[in-house]
Amino acid sequence: KAGVTQTPRYLIKTRGQQVTLSCSPISGHRSVSWYQQTPGQGLQFLFEYFSETQRNKGNFPGRFSGRQFSNSRSEMNVSTLELGDSALYLCASSLFSGAQGEQFFGPGTRLTVL
């Protein structure tokens, strides 16, 4: 069974640009969550989507947004990039929403903002 896939794996952008990251969950999983990992702040929850609806959002500015498609694939978008957005962005999929099931993480997209 294929795992969670994320594209692209590496990305370099400059300040002010915008970026879109993609995540394909494990087949049959309908929940996709996004996390940001930085050396300073650690792992922080961005948002969760289930059945194309945002269920939860972390404490991030509105420049961070996401969506989920009918096939459960998800994208996250960051507009007006700042240097501090440089991070590893991890996507995780789960069979269920709510406090059930286990999250399986993808390999991540490493974003560098210059």
Partner 1 sequence: ELKVEQNPLFLSMQEGKNYTIYCNYSTTSDRLYWYRQDPGKSLESLFVLLSNGAVKQEGRLMASLDTKARLSTLHITAAVHDLSATYFCAGVPSGSARQLTFGSGTQLTVLP
2 binds partner 1 (CB under 8 A): no
Q: Which is nearer to partner 1, 7 or 56 (CB)?
A: 56
Give the one residue of 2, 42, 62, 70 binding partner 1; rule: CB under 8 A.
42
Structure tokens belonging to residue 21: 């990251």
Nearer residue to partner 1 within complex by CB, 17 or 51: 51
Cβ-Cβ contacts under 8 Å for 12 (sequence gap 6 or more): 111, 112, 113, 114
Q: How far apart are alpha carbons 22 and 9 in whole angstroms?
A: 10
Nearer to partner 1, 7 or 80 (CB): 7
Cβ partners under 8 Å of residue 98, min gap 6: none
Amino acid (one-letter) located at 38? T
Choose, by CB under 8 A, the member of 19, 21, 35, 66 that binds partner 1.
35
Subset of 81-100 contacting partner 1 (CB under 8 A): 90, 92, 94, 97-99
